[in-house]
């Protein structure tokens, strides 16, 4: 059985380890709301909600390859919704994940709709060859993930 829980600060090292195993270069901070999926006592997926520039940014969703396409990402996204409902939130996902993040009420956004720090980050990702785009989600009642 897979369970999703908020990661206590003392276990953030495990998040860094999962990121390394997944080949993700991002870090994790104590101020982040970090949610992890667990299976058999092992962390198999993680996502962070970061307060940056006065907005929430969904970052670093990673699921170990052997657990991908089994609903783990969806479970993590479902657990993000209560935090996302608080205010406007953004994410900069790969283009092929638009529909996935759309399940949580995110919609594509033009770069000029982004806070300046995120617009700059988006340009940096594009220059690095990443095929990403901007998505925005309104707070309170923006939708939510449809039940399975």
Q: How many CA atoms lie within 13 A of 131 on its CB side?
A: 4
Helix, strand or coil for residue 121? helix
Integer Cα distance of 81 and 4 in angstroms: 13
User: Which residues on adjacent β-strands are paired with residue 52?
Assistant: 55
Residues 6+ apart with CB under 8 A from 114: 90, 122, 134, 136
- DSSP class of residue 15 equals H
Phi/psi of residue 91, nearest 5 degrees: -150, 160
Q: What is the pLDDT of residue 147?
A: 35
Domains and CATH numbers, the chain: 2-137 (3.40.630.30)
65 contacts 45 by C-beta, under 8 angstroms? no
Each residue's pLDDT, cut to its tens digit, for the chain (148 residues) gives 899 999 999 989 999 999 988 888 888 889 999 999 999 989 999 999 999 988 999 999 999 989 999 999 999 999 999 999 888 999 999 999 999 999 999 999 998 999 999 999 999 998 888 899 999 998 765 444 433 3
Residues 6+ apart with CB under 8 A from 102: 135
């Amino acid at each position: 059985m897979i369970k999703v829980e908020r990661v206590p600060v003392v276990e953030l090292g495990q998040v860094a380890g999962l990121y390394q195993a997944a080949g993700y270069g991002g870090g994790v901070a104590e101020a982040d709301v970090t949610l992890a999926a667990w299976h058999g006592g092992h962390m198999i997926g993680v996502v962070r909600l970061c307060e940056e520039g006065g907005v929430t940014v969904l970052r670093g969703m990673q699921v170990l390859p052997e657990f991908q396409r089994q609903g783990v990402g969806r479970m993590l996204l479902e657990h993000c919704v209560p935090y996302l409902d608080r205010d406007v939130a953004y994410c900069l996902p790969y283009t092929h994940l638009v529909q996935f993040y759309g399940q949580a009420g995110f919609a594509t956004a033009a770069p000029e709709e982004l806070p300046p720090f995120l617009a700059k980050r988006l340009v940096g990702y594009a220059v690095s060859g990443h095929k990403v785009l901007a998505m925005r989600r309104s707070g309170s009642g923006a939708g939510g993930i449809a039940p399975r």
